[in-house]
Amino acid sequence: MSQAQEINKLPLILTAIVTVVLTVAVLHLYGYLNFVNPEKGLELADYRVVTVGSEEAGNLRSNPAKHEAECVDGILVLHASHMNGLSGVLRDNRDRVVRCVNQVVPALEE
């Protein structure tokens, strides 16, 4: 008659819990998880218009912002390059989306 050894399940349960917590922490650290409050919304950045030829135009920095703009179906969409997959539309202070015009650069004919 052999008696089966009883396995202590506590280390297995603790290992599973720690693994899940560490996985969520690493995913959040690398930007794959974003926790957003839906009531507040998400603001990528604060933008303002600087007119060409004004004094402020001479004071602009040479390094670019961490956002890229793209014209999608006539609406200007911003993509955050420092946050994976984060995109949004550009709006004014009255919550109207900023429209854009798709312009195609003509190819050089030889």
Residues belonging to the chain:
110
Q: Which tens digit of pLDDT belongs to each residue from 6-37? A: 889 999 999 999 999 999 999 988 888 876 65
Amino acid at 70: E
Is 96 within the bounds of a domain?
no
Reported as type and span, the H/E element at residue 13 is: helix 10-29
Residue 86 has pLDDT above 80, yes or no: no
How does pLDDT run across 87-106, given as a tens digit for each residue? 777 777 777 888 888 766 66
Structural domain includes residue 28 = yes
In a domain, 60, yes or no: yes
Number of domains the chain contains: 1
For residues 55-82, give the mean pLDDT: 74
Classify residue 47 by burial, with Cβ atoms within 10 Å: 0-12, 13-18, 19+. Answer: middle
Of 7-11, 54-58, 75-79, give the range with the top mean pLDDT: 7-11
Q: Is the pLDDT of residue 107 over 70?
A: no
- Give the pLDDT of residue 39: 52
DSSP 81: T
Q: Is residue 44 part of a domain?
A: yes
Mean pLDDT confidence for 39-44: 54
Category of 74 on φ-ψ map: left (φ > 0), alpha (ψ -120 to 50) or beta: left
| Integer angstrom CA distances of residue 70 from 13, 51, 64, 78, 80 | 48, 21, 15, 6, 11
Q: What is the pLDDT of residue 110?
A: 62
Angle (CA) 69 72 73, round 5°? 150
Residue 63 domain-assigned (yes or no): yes
